[in-house]
Structure 1
Amino acid sequence: MSLQRLNQYRVMWVMVFFDLPTETKADTRNYRRFVDVLEKDGFTRFQFSIFLRHCPSMENAQVHMKRVKINLPPKGKVGIIRVTDKQFGMMEVFISAKAEKIPEPVQQLELF
Protein backbone atom coordinates (compact mmCIF):
# COMPACT_ATOMS: atom_id res chain seq x y z
CA MET A 1 0.00 0.00 0.00
CA SER A 2 1.42 3.36 -0.95
CA LEU A 3 1.68 6.29 1.44
CA GLN A 4 -0.59 8.35 -0.86
CA ARG A 5 -3.38 5.79 -0.61
CA LEU A 6 -3.15 5.74 3.18
CA ASN A 7 -3.32 9.53 3.26
CA GLN A 8 -6.60 9.53 1.34
CA TYR A 9 -8.16 7.83 4.33
CA ARG A 10 -6.33 9.86 6.99
CA VAL A 11 -6.90 13.33 5.51
CA MET A 12 -10.34 14.68 6.42
CA TRP A 13 -12.80 17.27 5.16
CA VAL A 14 -15.08 18.97 7.68
CA MET A 15 -18.38 20.21 6.26
CA VAL A 16 -20.65 22.60 8.14
CA PHE A 17 -24.26 22.90 6.95
CA PHE A 18 -26.59 25.45 8.45
CA ASP A 19 -29.97 27.10 8.19
CA LEU A 20 -30.04 30.22 10.35
CA PRO A 21 -32.82 32.76 10.74
CA THR A 22 -32.27 36.34 9.55
CA GLU A 23 -35.66 37.79 10.48
CA THR A 24 -34.40 40.30 13.04
CA LYS A 25 -31.28 42.46 13.29
CA ALA A 26 -30.05 40.23 16.11
CA ASP A 27 -30.57 37.11 13.95
CA THR A 28 -28.66 38.71 11.07
CA ARG A 29 -25.85 39.73 13.43
CA ASN A 30 -25.64 36.14 14.79
CA TYR A 31 -25.62 34.75 11.24
CA ARG A 32 -22.79 37.10 10.19
CA ARG A 33 -20.82 36.35 13.37
CA PHE A 34 -21.08 32.60 12.75
CA VAL A 35 -19.97 32.93 9.10
CA ASP A 36 -17.06 35.15 10.20
CA VAL A 37 -15.95 32.52 12.74
CA LEU A 38 -16.01 29.84 10.05
CA GLU A 39 -14.03 31.96 7.59
CA LYS A 40 -11.45 32.96 10.22
CA ASP A 41 -10.97 29.28 11.07
CA GLY A 42 -10.11 28.45 7.46
CA PHE A 43 -13.47 27.24 6.16
CA THR A 44 -14.42 28.18 2.61
CA ARG A 45 -17.91 28.60 1.23
CA PHE A 46 -19.00 25.68 -0.96
CA GLN A 47 -22.62 26.76 -1.28
CA PHE A 48 -24.62 29.51 0.38
CA SER A 49 -25.01 27.63 3.68
CA ILE A 50 -22.28 25.00 3.34
CA PHE A 51 -18.67 25.57 4.36
CA LEU A 52 -15.71 23.18 3.91
CA ARG A 53 -12.34 22.83 5.56
CA HIS A 54 -9.49 20.54 4.60
CA CYS A 55 -7.78 18.93 7.60
CA PRO A 56 -4.59 16.82 7.52
CA SER A 57 -5.83 14.36 10.17
CA MET A 58 -8.78 13.22 12.25
CA GLU A 59 -7.30 14.96 15.30
CA ASN A 60 -7.06 18.26 13.42
CA ALA A 61 -10.64 17.84 12.16
CA GLN A 62 -11.84 17.35 15.74
CA VAL A 63 -10.15 20.62 16.79
CA HIS A 64 -12.01 22.57 14.11
CA MET A 65 -15.31 20.81 14.82
CA LYS A 66 -14.93 21.80 18.49
CA ARG A 67 -14.41 25.45 17.46
CA VAL A 68 -17.61 25.35 15.42
CA LYS A 69 -19.53 23.88 18.37
CA ILE A 70 -18.20 26.54 20.75
CA ASN A 71 -19.44 29.27 18.38
CA LEU A 72 -22.90 27.91 17.53
CA PRO A 73 -25.51 30.65 17.11
CA PRO A 74 -28.41 30.76 19.59
CA LYS A 75 -31.04 29.97 16.92
CA GLY A 76 -31.12 27.84 13.80
CA LYS A 77 -29.95 24.44 12.67
CA VAL A 78 -26.29 23.50 12.18
CA GLY A 79 -24.90 20.15 11.01
CA ILE A 80 -21.26 19.11 11.06
CA ILE A 81 -19.89 16.11 9.19
CA ARG A 82 -16.40 14.90 8.45
CA VAL A 83 -15.51 12.71 5.50
CA THR A 84 -12.25 11.23 4.33
CA ASP A 85 -10.39 12.75 1.40
CA LYS A 86 -11.21 9.56 -0.52
CA GLN A 87 -14.95 10.01 0.09
CA PHE A 88 -14.78 13.71 -0.74
CA GLY A 89 -12.99 12.89 -3.99
CA MET A 90 -15.95 10.76 -5.11
CA MET A 91 -18.35 13.71 -4.91
CA GLU A 92 -19.92 14.84 -8.15
CA VAL A 93 -20.54 18.57 -8.51
CA PHE A 94 -22.75 20.13 -11.19
CA ILE A 95 -23.31 23.76 -12.07
CA SER A 96 -26.16 24.36 -14.53
CA ALA A 97 -26.10 20.66 -15.50
CA LYS A 98 -22.37 20.85 -16.34
CA ALA A 99 -19.97 18.69 -14.41
CA GLU A 100 -17.47 20.72 -12.39
CA LYS A 101 -14.13 19.71 -10.94
CA ILE A 102 -14.09 19.11 -7.19
CA PRO A 103 -12.30 21.93 -5.31
CA GLU A 104 -8.61 21.30 -4.63
CA PRO A 105 -7.45 21.43 -1.02
CA VAL A 106 -5.93 24.75 -0.07
CA GLN A 107 -2.32 24.88 1.06
CA GLN A 108 -2.25 25.46 4.78
CA LEU A 109 0.74 26.11 6.95
CA GLU A 110 0.58 24.29 10.26
CA LEU A 111 2.84 25.05 13.16
CA PHE A 112 3.27 22.52 15.92
Structure 2
Amino acid sequence: MSEIRLNCYHIMWLFVMFDLPTLTAKERKNHTRFRKELEKDGFTMYQYSVYIRYCGSLESANVHIKRVKTFTPTQGHVSILTITDRQYARIINIWGEIKTKTEKAPMQLEFF
Protein backbone atom coordinates (compact mmCIF):
# COMPACT_ATOMS: atom_id res chain seq x y z
CA MET A 1 0.00 0.00 0.00
CA SER A 2 1.51 3.32 -1.03
CA GLU A 3 1.10 6.33 1.14
CA ILE A 4 0.01 9.56 -0.50
CA ARG A 5 1.13 12.59 1.44
CA LEU A 6 -0.64 15.87 1.05
CA ASN A 7 1.69 18.78 0.73
CA CYS A 8 1.39 22.40 -0.25
CA TYR A 9 2.11 21.57 -3.90
CA HIS A 10 -0.75 19.05 -4.25
CA ILE A 11 -3.47 21.00 -2.46
CA MET A 12 -5.21 23.39 -4.85
CA TRP A 13 -7.26 26.57 -4.59
CA LEU A 14 -9.80 27.54 -7.25
CA PHE A 15 -10.59 31.17 -7.94
CA VAL A 16 -13.69 31.93 -10.01
CA MET A 17 -13.78 35.54 -11.17
CA PHE A 18 -16.74 36.81 -13.14
CA ASP A 19 -18.27 39.86 -14.71
CA LEU A 20 -21.85 39.11 -15.70
CA PRO A 21 -24.38 41.57 -17.15
CA THR A 22 -27.19 42.71 -14.84
CA LEU A 23 -29.15 45.16 -16.98
CA THR A 24 -32.35 43.16 -17.48
CA ALA A 25 -34.35 41.10 -15.01
CA LYS A 26 -33.32 37.88 -16.79
CA GLU A 27 -29.63 38.84 -16.58
CA ARG A 28 -29.96 39.62 -12.87
CA LYS A 29 -31.65 36.26 -12.33
CA ASN A 30 -28.81 34.47 -14.19
CA HIS A 31 -26.24 36.38 -12.12
CA THR A 32 -27.93 35.42 -8.85
CA ARG A 33 -28.35 31.79 -9.93
CA PHE A 34 -24.65 31.60 -10.85
CA ARG A 35 -23.56 32.94 -7.45
CA LYS A 36 -25.91 30.57 -5.60
CA GLU A 37 -24.63 27.59 -7.60
CA LEU A 38 -21.05 28.56 -6.70
CA GLU A 39 -21.98 28.69 -3.02
CA LYS A 40 -23.82 25.37 -3.27
CA ASP A 41 -20.63 23.84 -4.74
CA GLY A 42 -18.59 24.97 -1.74
CA PHE A 43 -17.18 28.28 -2.96
CA THR A 44 -17.00 31.26 -0.62
CA MET A 45 -16.97 34.91 -1.54
CA TYR A 46 -13.47 36.38 -1.49
CA GLN A 47 -14.48 39.68 -3.05
CA TYR A 48 -17.69 40.79 -4.72
CA SER A 49 -17.19 38.90 -8.02
CA VAL A 50 -14.42 36.57 -6.85
CA TYR A 51 -15.21 33.23 -5.21
CA ILE A 52 -12.67 30.70 -3.92
CA ARG A 53 -12.71 27.02 -3.05
CA TYR A 54 -10.22 24.68 -1.40
CA CYS A 55 -9.56 21.39 -3.21
CA GLY A 56 -7.49 18.50 -1.86
CA SER A 57 -5.95 17.68 -5.25
CA LEU A 58 -5.78 18.69 -8.89
CA GLU A 59 -8.26 15.91 -9.73
CA SER A 60 -10.76 17.36 -7.27
CA ALA A 61 -10.20 20.83 -8.72
CA ASN A 62 -10.89 19.51 -12.23
CA VAL A 63 -14.23 18.07 -11.04
CA HIS A 64 -15.28 21.47 -9.70
CA ILE A 65 -14.06 23.27 -12.84
CA LYS A 66 -16.29 21.01 -14.95
CA ARG A 67 -19.19 21.67 -12.58
CA VAL A 68 -18.75 25.47 -12.82
CA LYS A 69 -18.71 25.20 -16.62
CA THR A 70 -22.13 23.50 -16.54
CA PHE A 71 -23.89 26.40 -14.80
CA THR A 72 -21.98 29.33 -16.33
CA PRO A 73 -24.34 31.79 -18.09
CA THR A 74 -23.98 32.24 -21.84
CA GLN A 75 -23.37 35.99 -21.51
CA GLY A 76 -20.63 37.68 -19.54
CA HIS A 77 -17.09 36.73 -18.63
CA VAL A 78 -16.00 33.98 -16.22
CA SER A 79 -12.35 33.14 -15.45
CA ILE A 80 -11.16 30.19 -13.38
CA LEU A 81 -7.70 30.27 -11.83
CA THR A 82 -6.05 27.26 -10.16
CA ILE A 83 -3.16 27.79 -7.76
CA THR A 84 -1.34 25.57 -5.28
CA ASP A 85 -1.61 25.99 -1.54
CA ARG A 86 2.01 27.17 -1.53
CA GLN A 87 1.15 29.99 -3.95
CA TYR A 88 -1.99 30.83 -1.97
CA ALA A 89 0.08 31.20 1.18
CA ARG A 90 2.04 33.99 -0.49
CA ILE A 91 -1.01 36.23 -1.00
CA ILE A 92 -0.53 39.67 0.49
CA ASN A 93 -3.76 41.20 1.78
CA ILE A 94 -3.88 44.88 2.61
CA TRP A 95 -6.95 45.85 4.59
CA GLY A 96 -7.83 49.53 4.58
CA GLU A 97 -10.38 51.39 6.60
CA ILE A 98 -13.91 51.03 5.29
CA LYS A 99 -15.63 54.39 5.12
CA THR A 100 -19.33 54.51 5.82
CA LYS A 101 -21.70 57.30 4.95
CA THR A 102 -22.89 59.29 7.90
CA GLU A 103 -26.41 60.59 7.87
CA LYS A 104 -26.93 64.27 8.50
CA ALA A 105 -28.71 65.06 11.73
CA PRO A 106 -32.27 66.30 11.16
CA MET A 107 -33.01 69.97 11.71
CA GLN A 108 -34.30 70.79 15.16
CA LEU A 109 -37.61 72.59 15.45
CA GLU A 110 -37.83 75.51 17.85
CA PHE A 111 -41.16 76.29 19.48
CA PHE A 112 -40.15 79.33 21.57
Work out whether the TM-score is over 0.5. Answer: yes
Report the AA paired with residue 42 of structure 1: G
Whole-angstrom CA distance in 2 between matches of 1:84 and 1:67: 20
Gaps of 5+ in 2: 98-112
1:78 and 2:78 aligned: yes
| Other structure's SS at 1:83 match | strand
The question of 1:58 aligning with 2:36 is answered: no
> Once superposed, what is the RMSD of the aligned Cα atoms?
1.5
Trace 1:32-47 onto structure 2 (pairs within 5 A).
32-47=32-47
The secondary structure found in structure 1 opposite 2:7 is: helix
Q: Tell me, what secondary structure is at the counterpart of 1:96?
A: coil
Question: Aligned residues: percent identity?
Answer: 45
Partners of 1:20 and 1:95 lie apart in 2 by: 26
The structure richer in strand per residue is 1
Alpha-carbon separation, structure 2, partners of 1:37 and 1:46: 15
Gaps of 5+ in 1: 98-112
Runs of 4+ with >6 A deviation: none
Q: How many residues align?
A: 94
Instruction: Give the Å deviation of 1:95.
Output: 1.5
Provide the C-alpha distance between the structure 2 equivalents of 1:95 and 1:78, rounded to a whole number of angstroms: 26
Give the counterpart letter for 2:18 in structure 1.
F
The structure with the largest alpha-carbon Rg is 2
How far, CA to CA, are the matches of 1:31 and 1:89 in structure 2? 30
Deviations 1:22-42 (A, max 9, x none): 000000000000001100000
Q: Distance in 1 between matches of 2:68 and 2:25?
A: 22
